[in-house]
Amino acid sequence: MAVQYKGLKFPPGFNSAESLCFAENEFQVRDDDIFNITYPKSGTVWMIEILSLILNGGNPTWNQNVPNSSRAPWITSQLGLEAAQNLPSPRLLTCHLPIQIFPKAFFSSKAKVIYTLRDPRDVVVSYYHFSKMCPPFEDPRSFDHFLKSFLNGNVYFGSWFDHISGWMKQKGKSNIFFISYEQLKQDLHGCVERLCHFLGRELDGTAISSVVENASFEAMQKNRMCNSTMLPKELMDQEKGTFLRKGICGDWKTHFTVAQSEYFDRVYQEKMQGLKGIYAWEQTILESLKF
């Protein structure tokens, strides 16, 4: 049974209404906290690796010896909240929360948010495969069924459109940094430099190169501290798929039919009217709507 909180549903086993309520209303945010925020399947684990490496000066020892859930606890679970409260500053914290239920204390703090977004067509493909191998998530049945649920917002963590538009309204605030999965794929070195500057942690060239090397998809696939192979089968059944599956842009082209692509583009056009012209992937959607 899904966990319900403020009109949204969350996966059981990871979250509870009590932990979500605590995260929103009682979690004490520190001024030097760093929040890694995403909608699911948008580069969450990748960003944990990047930020962990930056905070450790490019040294991969932390990444290679401490599970990512301990380095960057999930503040929507009871275990994650307990871990977060016991961490020394500066804390790296993770969640998929939409802005309307994000910790209230953040908005009167100097804490920083890194928000990673991704082409929603790749998000839905990744989310579909993830749901098939993650027992606490609902069975996606077919890709077509899951695509419709995704576009209707009837998935865990709610509507992608609402999540993105809620956070993007914060664009321009000095303590919130927006970056896309596509930018990371195109120029990871440049993105790491920008992230270092945002976090006030200027690293030399050798350290930045180490961040880039150890946050590569290949390095992450081999790293048991982030590839989920240590999780029990009840939480992640890797016989049904691979957690770090492809790590590419444009995989949606191998999944969408022409009809599904046209349907998606129409819904996107309708839902994203107020937030156009800021995403790399939009060009292909806008071009398809001309015909």
pLDDT, tens digit (0-9, with 9 covering 90-100), for 87-115: 999 999 999 999 999 999 999 999 999 99
Q: Say how far apart CA 23 and CA 33 lie, in whole Å.
A: 14
Contacts for 255 with CB less than 8 Å, ≥ 6 apart: 125, 128, 143
pLDDT at 229: 47
Contacts 24+ apart (CB under 8 A), 283-290: 288/261, 288/262, 289/265
pLDDT at 243: 41
pLDDT at 231: 44
pLDDT at 94: 96
Contacts for 206 with CB less than 8 Å, ≥ 6 apart: 58
- Mapping DSSP to helix (H, G, I), strand (E, B) and coil, where does residue 179 land? strand
- Counting as low any pLDDT under 70, the low residues of the chain are 133-138, 223-248, 274-291
CA torsion, points 209, 215, 218, 224, in degrees to nearest 10? 130
Tell me which amino acid residue 36 is: N
pLDDT at 224: 61
pLDDT at 250: 81
Q: Say how far apart CA 26 and CA 22 lie, in whole Å.
A: 5
Contacts for 104 with CB less than 8 Å, ≥ 6 apart: 24, 25
Report, in angstroms and rounded to the nearest whole number, the Rg of the chain calculated over CA atoms.
Answer: 18
In this predicted model, what pLDDT tens digit does every residue of 15-64 receive, in sequence order? 899 999 999 999 999 999 999 999 999 999 899 999 999 999 999 888 77
Contact 72, 52 (CB under 8 A): yes
pLDDT at 272: 85
pLDDT at 236: 43
**Residues carrying an active site annotation:** 96
C-alpha distances in angstroms, 219 versus 92, 169, 191?
Answer: 21, 34, 18
pLDDT at 269: 87
pLDDT at 234: 45
